[in-house]
Structure 1
Amino acid sequence: MSKLNISIIGVPMDLGQNRRGVDMGPSAIRYAGVVERLQELGHSVDDVGDIAIGRRETSQNTKLRNLEEVVAANTILANRVHDIIGEGNFPIVLGGDHSIAIGTLAGLADRYDNLGVIWYDAHADLNTAETSPSGNIHGMPLAVSIGLGHEALVNIRDFAPKIKPENVVIIGARSVDPGERDLIREKGIKVFSMHEIDKLGMSEVMTQTIQYFKDRKVDGVHLSLDLDGLDPLYTPGVGTPVAGGITYRESHLAMEMLYASEMVTSAEFVEVNPILDEKNKTADVAVGLMGSLLGESLV
C-alpha cells in the first residue's frame, strides 16, 4: 500500500444504544494519538473534525430507538464519506456506536461496483425492528446495509441495498441472536465465528477471507471494526463486551495481513466508551490496530 491521503472523521454518536459515554469515543481515540501514529508511517492525515449529533428523541419508540436522530446523523456522515472518496482520500471513521456504519456504507457504496465488507465484531448486527430484543439501532447496521429494515435507514442517499450479502465476511462473532442466525443462512453470509478462529487460527481465517474477496472480484474492501470483537481483557471500554473474543495479537495479525493484501480502501473503528475504559486502554488498542492496518510492523 502506497502512502495515503487519509481523512479522519469523528462521529460522536451514542443514540444507537442505551449506555452513555460512547459519544466520547472519537475524542479518546484522538487523545491516544491516532493522527501522529499514522503520520509517523508517512501518510498525510487530515482530521476533518466531528459531525454534529442531535439530542435523544422524546418519543418512546422502543423498536427503533432515536430513529430520526440516527437517520439524520448517518445522512450527514454518508455525504461526507462520499465526498472524501471523491477526493481520492482514504476515509477513517471514528465512533461512536456501530449504528454509524449505516452512514459510512451509504457514503461508500455507490463509489464502488462491487464493495466488500469485513465486519470485525462479536455481534452480527443483522437485527431489524422485528427481531431486535432491544430496539437499539447499533444492532442493525449490517441488516440495513443489505437492504433490510426501516425505509428511512435503508434508503439513505436514495438507493438500496448498499452492499451484497455475499460480499460480507463477519469475523469474531460469538453473540448472535436467533433471527440473525436465520438471516445468515438465508442470505449466505460468510461468518468466521470464534469457533472457526480457534479451530483454524487467525492466519488461516484471514487467508481465506482475502481469497474470498479475490474470488468475488471486489473493487474495494471496507473494514468495520467494533472493539468488542476483541476479548474484553484487551478492550474493557465497550458497551456490550462478550467474553471469549479475539486476542490482541490475533487482531494485529489480522490487520497486518490486510495491509499486505492491499485490499482495504476504507475503515471505521467503533464502540470505544471512555467511561467504561481503564486508562484509555481501548482507545490505545484502536490506534494500534489502525497502525497495523496501515503499515506498522514489529520489525
Structure 2
Amino acid sequence: MKKGISIIGVPMDLGQTRRGVDMGPSAIRYAGVSERLENLGYVVHDEGDIRVEIKERAQTDIDTNLKNLKAVAEGNEKLSEKIDEIIRLNRFPLVLGGDHSIAIGTLAGVAKHDGNLGVIWYDAHGDLNTAETSPSGNIHGMPLAVSLGIGHPALTNIGGYCPKVKPENIVIIGARSLDEGERELIKEKGIKVYTMHEIDRLGMTKIMEETIAYLKERTNSVHLSLDLDGLDPAEAPGVGTPVAGGISYRESHLAMEMLFDASIITSAEFVEINPILDERNKTAAVAVALMSSLFGDKLL
C-alpha cells in the first residue's frame, strides 16, 4: 500500500431519504484525512468531489419503486470512470461518502481491473435488497446485490459489464440488521457473514484471521467497504441508520491494523457519515482514525 493515494469525495444522499450524508466527504476532510495519511509517508492526491445532482426531495420511479434511480445511476457512472482512471495511474482509490449506494460505482471501477475481486463489507446491514425485497425503495440498501448482478439494469450495468463480484468472494462483517429477502439471498448464494453474534463469541482477532485467510485463498485483490454504522452508535453517532449493539472502536482499529499487516486491501471506501446527526464531528474523526490504521499507523 506504499504508493500514491487518490481521495475522491462523493456527496451522494440520494440513495436514502435522511438528508445530510452528502456532507460526509467535507466532514472527513475537515477531520484531517490528508494530513494524517501524509504523515504516514503517503503521497495524497485529493481529486475533489464527484458532481452529484441535488434534489430537494426523493423522486420515486413509478415502475420500480426505487428512489432517485436516474440520479443515483448517473452519479455512480461518473464515480466508476474516476476510479478506473485512478487505478490506471497506479494509485490507491480512497472514496469518501456519501451514502452506501456509492459502492455501486466504486466496485464497478475497481472490478474492471480484477475479475476475481474480493470484498469486505463492514456494515450493520447486508445491503442485499432489491426493488422487490426492499421495504423502503432506498438504493443505499442495495449496492451489494447490484454488484452481484441482481437489481435494476440501470444499476447492475454501470461500467458496461455485470456482475462485478462473485458471492463466494464476499465477507460481511458486523451484520445485525437483515431484511427477510437479504437472509434468503445470503443462504441462496452462500455468502460468508460474520454477525455480531460471531464477533462476540469468537472475537475480532479470530474473525479477521479467518476473513484474511479466506480471501487470500480465492481472490487477487480486496476492496474494503466500511459503513460507519457498522460501529456501535455510542462511538459513531453520526450515521443515518444506527443499529445498537455494534462493533467497538477498538475492535475496528484492530481489524484495520490486521488488514494492513496482511497487505490485501487495494481500494477502500468509508461511507454514511452524516454531520447533521453527529456530535462535534466525532464520527468523521473515527473514520479518519480507522483509515490511518488501515494505512499502517501504529503506536510504536
Q: Same fold by TM-score, threshold 0.5 exceeded? A: yes
2:103 counterpart of 1:101: yes
**In structure 1, the residue corresponding to 2:118 is in which secondary structure?**
strand
Q: Structure 2 matches for 1:36-185, cutoff 5 A?
A: 36-56=35-55, 59-61=59-61, 63-185=65-187
How far off is 1:214 after superposition?
1.7
CA distance in 1, matches of 2:59, 2:196: 38
The amino acid of 1:273's aligned partner reads N
RMSD over aligned Cα, in angstroms?
1.0
Distance 2:14 2:21 in 1: 9
Cα distance in 2 for partners of 1:60, 1:114 equals: 34
Once residues 213 and 171 of structure 2 are traced to their aligned partners in structure 1, the CA distance between those partners, rounded to angstroms, is 11
Q: TM-score, normalised by structure 2?
A: 0.98
In the TM superposition, what is the alpha-carbon distance from 1:59 to its structure 2 partner? 4.3
User: 2: CA distance between counterparts of 1:148 and 1:194?
Assistant: 26
Task: List per-residue Cα deviations over 1:162-192 (Å, max 9, x = no partner).
Answer: 0001100000000000000000000010000
Secondary structure of the residue that 1:81 maps to in structure 2? helix
CA-to-aligned-CA distance 1:63-92 (integer Å, 9 cap, x gap): 210000000000000000011011100000
Q: What is the SS of the residue equivalent to 1:179?
A: helix
Deviations 1:5-45 (A, max 9, x none): 00000000000000000000000000000000000000000
Tell me what 2:209 maps to. Answer: 207
Contact 2:14 2:58 in 1 (8 A): no
* Amino acid in the other structure paired with 2:187: R
Alpha-carbon offset, residue 215 of structure 1: 1.8
Cα distance in 1 for partners of 2:174, 2:294 equals 17
CA drift of 1:58 comes to 7.0
Cα separation, partners in 2 of 1:58 and 1:273, compared to 1, 3 Å: closer
Tell me, in whole angstroms, the C-alpha distance in 1 between the residues paired with 2:141 and 2:59. Answer: 20
SS at match of 2:159: helix
Whole-Å Cα distance in 2 between the matches of residues 230 and 249 of structure 1? Answer: 10
In structure 1, the gaps of 5 or more residues are none
Contact 2:131 2:151 in 1 (8 A): yes
Alignment counterpart, residue 190 of structure 1, candidates 192, 206, 214: 192
Describe the shift of the 1:215–1:58 C-alpha distance in structure 2 as closer, same or farther (beyond 3 A): closer
1:227 and 2:221 matched: no
1:220-257 C-alpha deviation (Å, 9 max, x unpaired): 10000000000001000000000000000000000000
CA distance in 2, matches of 1:58, 1:175: 24
Aligned-residue identity in percent: 68
Deviation, 1:259, is 0.1
Instruction: Return the alpha-carbon distance in structure 2 between the equivalents of residues 42 and 251 of structure 1.
Output: 23
CA contact (8 A) 2:108 2:158 kept: yes
Question: Partner letter of residue 146 of structure 1?
Answer: L
Give the distance between the partners of 1:60 and 1:199, measured in 2 at CA: 42
Is contact 2:12–2:22 with CA below 8 Å preserved after alignment? yes
1:239-292 Cα distance to aligned partner (Å, 9 max, x none): 000000000000000000000000000000000000000000000000000000
